[in-house]
Amino acid sequence: MNFLKKLKKPKSKEDEAFLISLKSIIGYKPKNIFYYKKAFTHSSVKKIKDGKPYNYERLEFLGDSFLDAIIANYLYKNAPLRDEGYLTQMRSKIVSRQNLNKIGKDLQLTKYVHSTVAEEKFGENIFGNIFEALIGAIFLDKGYSGCEKFIHKVVIKPYVNIEKLEGKITSYKSVLIEYCQKKKKEIKFDIYEDNAKEKVKHFSVRLSINNKVISKGRATSKKKAEEIASKRAYYSFQSSIEK
């Protein structure tokens, strides 16, 4: 406890600058800087505090749980006539990795990450991971009500439109697989490494339906490459899928 108390006041110009940046993101001056510094510390730094790893990963777990609960509560109140299946689907769309990555990117959270890894090697999910860790830090610092206010401010108000979300596709791959199963078509994803001259590893995907190549995708992860190829293929069959 004494260790945490010492960290409540910034001890350097770096901490002062970090607090100013935080205030512009979360809208208030944090009570305890310790939680927030931890939320922006990458596991590559390999710090240990009180015998425990000092990085954002446990806070990410905590933030993910409270984000789910607060979004579920919002949907429960704002879609009173909808069933459990609908509410679950809508929550999944709001807290999808793609959506959280966009929010984290819009907030420019990686600017404040302390890491020994170059930013270009982080991977796309770092944006959503840090965002969830920040939510975890806010909960520990300000409690549930502070966490709820923050999520309403940066997630619900700017990004949640229930009518638009109803028609939003979060996984083109899932839609395409379901369509092929329904139409008894064989779908195949042929994945291979495609590094070319780039430093970062890339994967390419050829998507075939009934042994005919329909589309291709390329990205830094297999999952993302499959989704890109699936999205392209979806538009080839859109009129048939939406019937």
What are the chain's domains?
2-166 (1.10.1520.10), 172-241 (3.30.160.20)
Q: How far apart are CA 37 and CA 39, in angstroms?
A: 5
When the pLDDT of each residue in the chain is averaged and rounded to a whole number, the result is: 87
Give the pLDDT confidence of 86-118 residue by residue, as tens digits: 899 889 889 988 899 999 999 999 999 988 887
Q: What confidence category does residue 44 fall into, taking pLDDT thresholds of 50, 70 and 90? A: confident
Q: How far apart are CA 112 and CA 172, in angstroms?
A: 33
Residue type present at position 28: Y
Largest CA distance in the chain: 66
Q: How far apart are CA 79 and CA 50, in angstroms?
A: 45
The pTM for the full model equals 0.71
Q: Active-site positions?
A: 64, 132
pLDDT of residue 204: 92
pLDDT of residue 243: 66
pLDDT surpassing 50 at residue 1: no
User: What residues form DSSP beta bridges with 203?
Assistant: 193, 219
pLDDT of residue 163: 81
Checking phi first, is residue 26 left (phi over 0); if not, alpha (psi -120 to 50) or beta?
alpha
